[in-house]
C-alpha cells in the first residue's frame, strides 16, 4: 500500500521535477470504440475532442494508441478522459504530436498502470488520466504508453 501511495504522490511532483509548473488548459476525451476487442499489443485508433478551460471552441483530433502498458478485456464501446496541462498555458500548436508515458504511474481511481503522458510541442503538454470507461463489455486498456494525435480539419 505504501508503494501505491508513493506512486500516486509522485504524479503531482512530475512538473516540479521537470522544472516548470504546468497550468490546466482543458480536458481531452477519446473514443476508443473503433476496432476495440481483445487489445493485447495492437495499435488502436482513437477519435478525440479537446475542450479548453475555462471556455473556448472544441478541437477535434484523430490518433492512435501505439503501446499499452496493460490491456485486457473485450470492449465494444469505451472512452478515455485526460486532464490536459501545459507549461505555456495554451499549447501553441494545439495538442498535435506524440505523447509517451512517464515513469511514475498514476493510480488516482484507475488502478495501477494509468500513466501520465508527456508530449506535444516541445514536450510542453501533459495528459493525466481522469477516467476510463468501458460502456459495453469487460474493462479497457489501462496504461497507455504511447499516444499520437493529429488535428482534424
Question: Could you report the per-residue pLDDT of 8-34, keeping only the tens digit for each?
Answer: 444 444 444 445 667 899 999 988 775
Span 88-116, pLDDT tens digits: 777 766 899 999 987 544 444 444 455 78
Q: What is the pLDDT of residue 73?
A: 54
| Domain around 52 | 2-151
More confident call, 135 vs 77: 77
Number of domains in the chain: 1
Examine the pLDDT at 50 and tell me if it is beyond 60. Answer: yes
What percentage of the chain exceeds 90 in pLDDT? 25
pTM, rounded to two decimals: 0.70
Specify the residue for cell string 478541437. Answer: 59
Helix, strand, coil percentages for the chain (3-state, nearest 5): 15, 50, 35
- Tell me how far apart the 2 most distant CA atoms of the chain are, in Å: 46
Scanning 1-153, the segments in alpha helix (DSSP H) are: 2-18
CA dihedral 45, 47, 51, 57 (to 10 degrees): 140
Amino acid at each position: 500500500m505504501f508503494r501505491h501511495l508513493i506512486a500516486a504522490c509522485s504524479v503531482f511532483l512530475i512538473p516540479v521535477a521537470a522544472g516548470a509548473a504546468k497550468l490546466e488548459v482543458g480536458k481531452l476525451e477519446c473514443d476508443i470504440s473503433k476496432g476495440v476487442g481483445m487489445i493485447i499489443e495492437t495499435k488502436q485508433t482513437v477519435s478525440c475532442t479537446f475542450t479548453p478551460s475555462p471556455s473556448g471552441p472544441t478541437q477535434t483530433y484523430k490518433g492512435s494508441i501505439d503501446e499499452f502498458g496493460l490491456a485486457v478485456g473485450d470492449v465494444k464501446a469505451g472512452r478515455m478522459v485526460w486532464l490536459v496541462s501545459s507549461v505555456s498555458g495554451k499549447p501553441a500548436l494545439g495538442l498535435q504530436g506524440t505523447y509517451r508515458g512517464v515513469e511514475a504511474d498514476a493510480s488516482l481511481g484507475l488502478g495501477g498502470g494509468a500513466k501520465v503522458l508527456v508530449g506535444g510541442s516541445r514536450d510542453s503538454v501533459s495528459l493525466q488520466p481522469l477516467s476510463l470507461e468501458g460502456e459495453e463489455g469487460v474493462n479497457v486498456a489501462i496504461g497507455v504508453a504511447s499516444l499520437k494525435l493529429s488535428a482534424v480539419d
